[in-house]
Amino acid sequence: MLATLRRTYPDVGTALHFSDPLQLLVATILSAQCTDERVNRVTEQLFRKYRTAGDYASADPRELERDIHSTGFFRAKARNIIGAAQRIIAVYGGKVPDTMEQLVTLPGVARKTANIVLSHGFGKIEGIAVDTHVRRLSYRIGLSNHDDPETIEQDLMLLFERTDWPAVSDLLIAHGRAVCTARSPRCTACTVQPHCLQRIER
């Protein structure tokens, strides 16, 4: 299945635009319940305005809320970005930490976000990022029987080689957006249909 997905999406990777781990962290926080396309439009200006953890840490909450308003849940996201930046400065010397244990202590950062920052920002593989697409496809295809993202992650980690973990997430996300969508999965156009249980979601 993974080989088929790789042939189907040969250039897959994170769709978020970033140039360093801090930008990736902010973009990933913004991507919750928002399309990567919209996040990229917002961060094009945002990253020019806020360049360091200190810039975010000292940001006026209402101003940052306005800057990220179109990504949705802007109050919570602004609060988390500011809080994460303040902790990065206070505890980690102004640099985004590069371990799972440290990243998940930041406001707004759970394992999904931490896995994305680690794999794409630092080239470190500690797990598999489980977003809404990975969760949906894992159940439909039959890779996991669970609903909880952390349990799904553990199931996927047992099925695939560690070196493939970042690709598993990226490829399932790409397939979930292009073919195996939430409302109208295009099963007749699906390249991994022979591997799929085609289960109806609970």
For the annotated catalytic residues, the residue numbers are 112, 131
How far, in Å, CA of 162 to CA of 118, rounded? 14
CA angle 15, 20, 22 (to 5 degrees): 95
Q: What single-letter DSSP state applies at residue 122?
A: I
What single string gives the DSSP state of each residue in 12-31?
-------SSHHHHHHHHHHT
Q: Count of residues for the chain?
A: 202
- Distance between CA atoms of 129 and 132, rounded to whole angstroms? 10
Contacts for 188 with CB less than 8 Å, ≥ 6 apart: none
- C-alpha 172/C-alpha 133 separation (Å) is 7
* Dist. CA 198–CA 190, nearest whole Å: 11
**Tokens 């602004």 -> residue:** 78
Structure token digits, residue 133: 């697409």
